[in-house]
Amino acid sequence: MTTYSALLRIPGVARLISAQLVARFPGGMLSLAFLIFVENRTGRYADAGLMLAATSIGQAVAGPLTSRWMGKWGMRRVLSLTLAICTLSVLSIALVPMTLPFYMVLGLLCGLSTPPIQPAVRTIYPKLVNSTQLTPLFSLDASAQEIIWVLGPVVTTFVSTQIGPMWGILLAATLMVGGGAWFIASPEVGRVRIPPSRRKLGSVLKKPTVLIATMTGFLLVGACAAVEAGVVATFGDEGLEAGVVLAIFSLGSLVGGLALGHVPISPWSLARRMFLVAFGMAAATAMLGVWWLAVTLFLAGAGIAPALAVLFAIVSSSVKFSDTAEAYGWIGTGQLIGAAIGSAIAGFLIDTNGPAGALWVAAGFAFAGFVLPALTRPWLPDLRGRDASPIPDTEPVQLQGPG
């Protein structure tokens, strides 16, 4: 914990972590809020899964594009425009009665305009700390973001079930605006300029580490999306059990991330951490009781933040600074496509085979996420004792003045 406290004392680190957490907090709310809202309106989990899939596809398409645009037009311009459009889309879903096709269209627009805060903040991090502190900072970030997934499901479930499904979405929209404005106004966002990439869009995927990280993230988040749908279907949307179990799932990730943040990253690290996720999710399929799911999903969660920290570190160490935002955008795209497919498959299997079907989907995704890095470990970097900072560009990175 000494390492983490030292990081938080560095000027700008605590502020930036806090601002981006609030700005991204709706990410832990909207999927569940949309799931409850659309199922309440249409009576079908499959419909809710399709709407979530449309939202995730929109985010997946936008991820690399908006991340790359930050290097061309500046972070603040891109973040402000996307925040405005995304907020209007979310409010329309909550306030305007419509049929499933229109929910899907607005969900797609919401996804397309999701502010690229995650690529922005992880591009800024290397400019705030020295090279030896970067890997622990990625671990702290991956762990801290689990606060979103610990509190988000509980808050969303409580508001959506006890007050009304519409209010869960409106609360998320409020946090989106407040957190997004705070992040955009942060001095670090104005000072760091991302150099425009001179390579074609998608060229960064030729880096084996970026491709492996993108595919593994696809499988990991697909598994998590299936778990979320399965837990909600198991306990229904009339009580707090689903939110509590999902919060414990994320609490496991928070604990795992903090516990493993100091462990050096080797070529085997990603496979080992994904195995823990797969084992816990497979065990969860045995019974659907509250306590059994809480214990097994806590175990599965303990591998999630550590696995994400590995993804961020191996990508950071293998690309140029001008390509980092796009690389993280592609990782986000992989994760969101995984969420779309995981949600859609889980939704259909819930309707046909019950909640257990969604948990089997989750276990299958997670096991594939273990096999992939295990087979591709010769292409993964060994960062034990190595610098995880991005490769410097040939020309110096300019810093802008405050504002």
pLDDT single digits (tens) 35-44: 888 888 887 7
Residue at 401 is within a domain: no
Local confidence band at 84 (pLDDT 50, 70, 90 cut-offs) = very high
The mean pLDDT of 191-203, rounded to a whole number, is 75
The mean pLDDT of 141-147, rounded to a whole number, is 76
CATH number of the domain bearing residue 276:
1.20.1250.20
> What percentage of the chain reaches a pLDDT higher than 90?
31
The mean pLDDT of 147-172, rounded to a whole number, is 84
Confidence check: pLDDT of 100 > 60: yes
Confidence check: pLDDT of 399 > 70: no
Domain count, the chain: 1
Element housing 309 (H / E) = helix 304-316
Residue at 384 is within a domain: no
CB of 277 closer than 8 Å to CB of 223: yes
CA distances from 311 to 121, 160, 187, 192, 295 (A): 15, 33, 27, 23, 26
> What percentage of the chain reaches a pLDDT higher than 70?
93
The mean pLDDT of 80-109, rounded to a whole number, is 92
The mean pLDDT of 332-341, rounded to a whole number, is 79
pLDDT value of residue 99 = 86
Residue at 1 is within a domain: no
Which amino acid is present at 361?
Answer: V
Note down the domain range covering 60.
Answer: 12-379
Higher pLDDT: 311 or 396? It is 311
Q: What is the dihedral angle through the alpha carbons of 339, 343, 346, 350, rounded to the nearest 10 degrees?
A: 160
3-state helix, strand, coil in the chain (%, to 5): 80, 0, 20
Residue at 21 is within a domain: yes
d(CA 187, CA 51): 36
The mean pLDDT of 284-309, rounded to a whole number, is 92
Residue at 349 is within a domain: yes
Q: What is the dihedral angle through the alpha carbons of 292, 294, 299, 304, rounded to the nearest 10 degrees?
A: 140
Of 91-100, 101-110, 114-123, 273-282, the poorest mean pLDDT is in 114-123
pLDDT value of residue 144 = 77
Burial of 19 from C-beta contacts in 10 A (0-12 / 13-18 / 19+): buried
Local confidence band at 394 (pLDDT 50, 70, 90 cut-offs) = low
Confidence check: pLDDT of 325 > 80: no
Confidence check: pLDDT of 376 > 90: yes
Q: Which of 107, 55, 341, 302 lies closest to 222 in space, CA to CA?
A: 341
The mean pLDDT of 55-69, rounded to a whole number, is 82
The mean pLDDT of 15-29, rounded to a whole number, is 88
Of 157-161, 294-298, 361-365, the poorest mean pLDDT is in 157-161
Of 17-21, 86-90, 234-238, the poorest mean pLDDT is in 234-238
Q: What is the dihedral angle through the alpha carbons of 388, 145, 183, 221, rounded to the nearest 10 degrees?
A: 80
Local confidence band at 210 (pLDDT 50, 70, 90 cut-offs) = very high
Residues 115-131 pLDDT 10s: 988 888 888 887 887 76
d(CA 114, CA 105): 14
Give this prediction's pTM: 0.76
Confidence check: pLDDT of 198 > 80: no
The mean pLDDT of 196-219, rounded to a whole number, is 85
Confidence check: pLDDT of 402 > 50: no
Residue at 280 is within a domain: yes
pLDDT value of residue 239 = 60
Local confidence band at 62 (pLDDT 50, 70, 90 cut-offs) = confident
Which amino acid is present at 396?
Answer: P
d(CA 184, CA 393): 25
Task: List phi, psi (to 5°) of 391.
Answer: -70, 130
Residue at 389 is within a domain: no
pLDDT value of residue 79 = 93
The mean pLDDT of 131-155, rounded to a whole number, is 75
Residue at 386 is within a domain: no
Helices assigned H by DSSP within 74-195: 75-95, 100-112, 117-124, 131-144, 146-162, 165-185, 187-191
